[in-house]
Amino acid sequence: MAAFTRPGYRTPGSETYIAAIGQGSIVCEDMARRGASLWVAMAMAACGGSGDDSGGTGTGLSAGTTMTGSTVTATGTGSTSTDVPTTGTTASGGVSDSTGTSTTGPTSGEPVTSTTNPGTSTSTTGTATATTSGETTSGETTGGTTGAVDFCEGEGGILLPGDEVTCTGDLGKKTFLFAICSCSGLTANNSLRTDSFDSNDPNMVPMDGGSVGVNGPYKAASMVDIGGSLWVDGKIETFNAHEVAQQLKCSDDLTAGSASHVADDLFTEGNLFAQNMTLTIDGDLHILPNKMNQGAKVLGATIKEQVEVKTPCDCEDLIDVPKIVSGYMQDNDNDALPIAPDELVGLPQPKSIELPCGRYFFTGIDSNSSLDITLTGRTVIAVAGDVQNAGAFHITLAPEAELDLFIAGNANFNNVATIGDPKRPAATRIYVGGAFKFASNFTLGANLYQPNAVFTANNMSEIWGSLFVGGLQLASPLVVHYDQAILELDGCDPPDQGCGDCHDCANPTPACTPGGTCGPCVVDDDCCPPLVCDAGICKAIIPQ
């Protein structure tokens, strides 16, 4: 029985994820290096075992995890920082004073209240109704959302407010291309590791992928193992073991101070400094004619040519989260449930709420006790103010549910929290205008967009999905498992829509042609970083 490891995976020490037997059956093996990871639960589920279907709570963002400030630092001691301005409005501290005063007015209907022990738990359920073409439909929110098609019946997508073309699915697959994208430099004084999987694959096999993009200088003083490509618009300095499973692209000088390895081609606009062969390049070295390679071992060819490294993260044209929330304030399905915009504000007792398919607007979320939100269909939740929860907080998705969560303000979780499903993180997309703060164990099975604040973690962090952040500040190891299924979300964009660059397009027509329309890709450069072109489609991994 041969152990399965990610293709091209290289790391010091032993590593065995899963053993594969026969046609796709999986059994659990030694996962010493992964530790208490949800790969165990996934492997057990594939084996028919009794793993925790909820994804578990032993991993994820832990105590003191915040997203705040304007520095980009990954530090094991919490004492090192590098001041780098972020792009856009910087959010600092924890939760802002904004409470969100916008409202759509009262809605009718009262929640069902049941007595529990301890405390009183208020549970809002029921069936949503909506009127379309003069008829009333019971059971799900239908009609009046995407026009000719009904996203609640699994067709089409949820349109962004004020947009007759683009859906939330288009927004997600255009945004989350990297496992980690930082709008400013990255300094890693503790370990960083990325890989990927495809939640559309029932076997959940870990594989290459999980790229890292940095708009600014990149400095790694601890061990780094990147399962995808590394794109840096700035200098690269490494001082410890450093692995890149795919390509490495750097717009400036690259210095390798310890054993480093690139499994594919390396592109640089600067010089290479790798004394005593500390850097090995399995593929070709692409370097400007007037630049030098001082010590790197190149197993392929050295190609002197013009090199232009694209800026990896699209931080110039940021998503206007407050504007999107304002749009859903005017056009939502609250009345169909019914549920009031202030339903989740000032909650003194535990509360459970079930939301069927639809778009829901809240002025804020503010609870002094536990709050459980269960989603049964394709759902948008738009919050005008802040999300503040003193008790346990959970957003749980049914097997066919999806979530696009837009928070105009900040989010502050002071207790155990879970958002999304680690087994299919592509189904949950979170967009935040301000900053996040996690004060306790946090399980994130989602893709998080938070470009105006810095990601901070003060304990072991394991994320299922991706991070698009203003910066990175780590006081402990970080592991990110990128879900490639995010690139295949259902969208509404027409295949030949106009475009200014690749960021305006997405699969199945991901390239912006010279004529200014979206179409199939032909070469890798047609795709946005870090994707590669395969038969007209942009993908996260290099096809084998």
Cis peptide leading into 543, omega within 30 of 0?
no
For residues 257 and 188, give the distance between their C-alpha atoms in angstroms, rounded to a whole number: 14
For residue 438, the model assigns a pLDDT of: 81
DSSP code at position 175: H
Residue 537 counted as domain residue = yes
Whole-number Å distance between alpha carbons of 166 and 504: 10
At 45, which helix (H) or strand (E)? helix 38-47
Look at the chain and report how many structural domains it folds into.
1
Q: Is residue 527 part of a domain?
A: yes
3-class SS of residue 297? strand
The string of pLDDT tens digits covering residues 275-320 is: 888 999 999 999 999 999 999 999 999 999 999 999 999 999 999 9
Chain centroid offset of residue 499 CA: 24
Question: 283 is written with which tokens?
Answer: 């593929």
Residues 6+ apart with CB under 8 A from 211: 177, 178, 179, 194, 226, 228, 229, 230, 231, 246, 482, 529, 530, 540
Q: Are 228 and 211 in contact (CB under 8 A)?
A: yes
Q: Judge whether 155 and 447 are in contact, CB under 8 Å.
A: no
Strand ranges in 77-128 using DSSP code E only, listed in sequence order: 112-115, 120-124
Distance CA 187, CA 232 (A): 12
Q: How many other CB atoms are there within 10 angstroms of residue 379's CB atom?
A: 28
Domain assignment present for 529: yes
State the residue for tokens 């200098």. 235
Strands 511-512 and 518-519: antiparallel
* Domain assignment present for 315: no
Measured over all CA atoms, what is the biggest interatomic distance in the chain, rounded to whole angstroms?
A: 77
Alpha carbons 48 and 54: distance in angstroms, whole number: 15
Please, are residues 233 and 215 in contact by the beta-carbon 8 Å criterion?
A: yes
Q: Is the residue at 382 inside a domain?
A: no
Q: How open is the CA angle 112-116-118, to the nearest 5 degrees?
A: 140
With beta carbons less than 8 A apart as the criterion, state whether 67 and 455 touch.
yes
The Cα 482–Cα 446 span in angstroms is: 10
Cβ contacts of residue 218 below 8 Å, gap of 6+?
A: 185, 186, 230, 232, 234, 235, 236, 237
- Give domain status of residue 312, yes or no: no
Q: Phi/psi of residue 210, each to 5°?
A: 95, 60
263-269 CB contacts, 8 Å cutoff, 24+ apart: 263/8, 263/10, 264/229, 264/542, 265/300, 266/296, 267/307, 267/309, 268/307, 268/309, 269/307, 269/308, 269/309
CA dihedral 401, 18, 210, 198 (to 10 degrees): -30
User: By three-state DSSP, how is residue 247 classified?
Assistant: coil
**Residue range(s) defining the domain that contains residue 529:** 493-544
Cα dihedral 244/249/250/254 (nearest 10)? 40
SS3 31: coil
Q: Could you say which DSSP state residue 433 is in?
A: S
Per-residue HEC secondary structure of 182-207 comes to ECCCEEEECCEEEEEECCCCCCCCCE
Look at the alpha carbons of 198, 199, 200, 205 in this order and tell me if their dihedral is positive or negative. Answer: positive
Give a yes or no: residue 532 inside a domain. yes
Angstrom distance (rounded) from CA 54 to CA 474 = 26
The whole-model pTM stands at 0.78
**Position 28 in a domain:** no
Neighbouring residues of 263: CB distance < 8 A, sequence distance ≥ 6? 8, 10, 243, 244, 245, 246, 282, 283
Spell out, as residue ranges, where the chain has pLDDT lower than 50.
Answer: 1-149
Give which of 475, 443, 438, 461 is closest to 35, Cα–Cα: 461
Nearest-angstrom CA–CA distance, 362 and 30? 46
Take residue 184 and report the two structure tokens written for it.
């400013």
pLDDT for res 453: 92
Give, in order, the Cα–Cα distances in Å from 73 to each of 132, 190, 217, 454. Answer: 52, 10, 11, 9
pLDDT of residue 524: 93
Query: What are the residues facing 266 on neighbouring strands?
Result: 248, 285
What's the pLDDT at 35? 37
Q: Do residues 261 and 245 lie in contact, with contact meaning Cβ atoms separated by under 8 Å?
A: no
